[in-house]
Amino acid sequence: MRRREFITLIGGAAAAPALLCPRAVRAQQGDPLRRIGVLLALAEDDVDAKSRLAAFRQGLGKRGWAEGRNVQIVYRFAVTSARQPEPLAKELVARQPDVILAHTPPVALALQRESRTIPMVFVNISDPIGLGLIASLAKPGSNFTGVVHYEPGIVGKWLGMLKEIAPQVARVALVTNPKSGSFDYFVKAGEAVAPSLGIEIVPTPVENAADIERAITSFARTPNGGLALPPDVTTTTHRDLVIALAAQHRLPAIYPFHLFVLAGGLMCYGTDQFDMFRVAAFYVDRILRGDKPADLPAQAPTKYETTLNLKTAKALGLSVPPGLLVAADEVIE
């Protein structure tokens, strides 16, 4: 469902008695600042985290919300083993914000365990129904709604693009963290489509840098391999390592985010992350204005981008097909 279809959605949330909820207390006292919690599964100093949050604030600004003027945003970052989402989710919920932005499945599940009443908007989650966050896209029926990251068909697109640029590829490792919440989702999607492309899917679970190095090195010992990386905080955090290993072992790879290709990866086909965070701001706006997450349909992705790195293709001895080149939104030379 496209964003324009949501514009006609209206809803009102009756104010709770002031003694029951700090949010209601603020409203009755005329506090001009609405409060948004943000729990992001990236490091605070990560350039990608900064860009996504800038897009989110931009989306809020277009709807009349300005940080420090009529809205306060509390940011928390959970990416390393020392900063798991559970304590940060507990801390955010204790602040009783008006709405929380939940980034990635582990973050959303941690927040769900803390509250089934505070409105939540998810982003970068591919299987919200399978995770138990919502009942359906059309009618979430819970305190969650948001922007779906990838539908299952995306894996077929990744494999097809790998086969197009490297026809010899016969085995593809799906490299992702099984704790990401979407491991089985992507593996099943890959196994369903791979035989029609003459490809064997090799599920490759990793949880840290050592796992990544060991798994890719082992996979590369058999010829005609390639890599496909579903969206995952672990591989995104260690993207430089993944890219270096792909180059070292001459493995054509397709990535979920544009920043992988900027860092030297071969190609990506994925959703526009900045657009998704701007759309997430739409949901936050609707909730701040009274709509309930249970009644706001979750949105499937509609905007994708293809990025190619010709320098990397040349280093791998690959010729980029004209059709793939023409379809690219950005070509790095």
Answer whether residue 175 shows pLDDT above 70.
yes
Answer whether residue 332 shows pLDDT above 80.
yes
Name the pairing type of β-strands 34-40 and 71-77: parallel
Q: Tens digits of per-residue pLDDT, 67-124?
A: 999 999 999 998 654 457 899 999 999 999 999 999 999 999 999 999 999 999 999 9
**Average pLDDT, stretch 187-210?**
96
On average, the pLDDT of the chain sits at 89
**Residue 8 pLDDT level (bands cut at 50, 70, 90):** very low
Answer whether residue 28 shows pLDDT above 90.
no
**Average pLDDT, stretch 145-169?**
95
Q: State the pLDDT at residue 80.
A: 53
**Residue 164 pLDDT level (bands cut at 50, 70, 90):** very high
Token reading at 295:
């009644």
**Average pLDDT, stretch 179-189?**
89
Domains and CATH numbers, the chain: 3-150+273-302 (3.40.50.2300), 154-270+305-332 (3.40.50.2300)
**From CA 38, how far away is CA 241, in angstroms rounded?**
28
Q: What is the pTM of this model?
A: 0.83
Share of the chain above pLDDT 90, in %: 78
List residues bridging with 259 in a β-sheet. none
Q: State the pLDDT at residue 179.
A: 86
Q: State the pLDDT at residue 23.
A: 53
Share of the chain above pLDDT 70, in %: 89
Q: State the pLDDT at residue 333.
A: 87
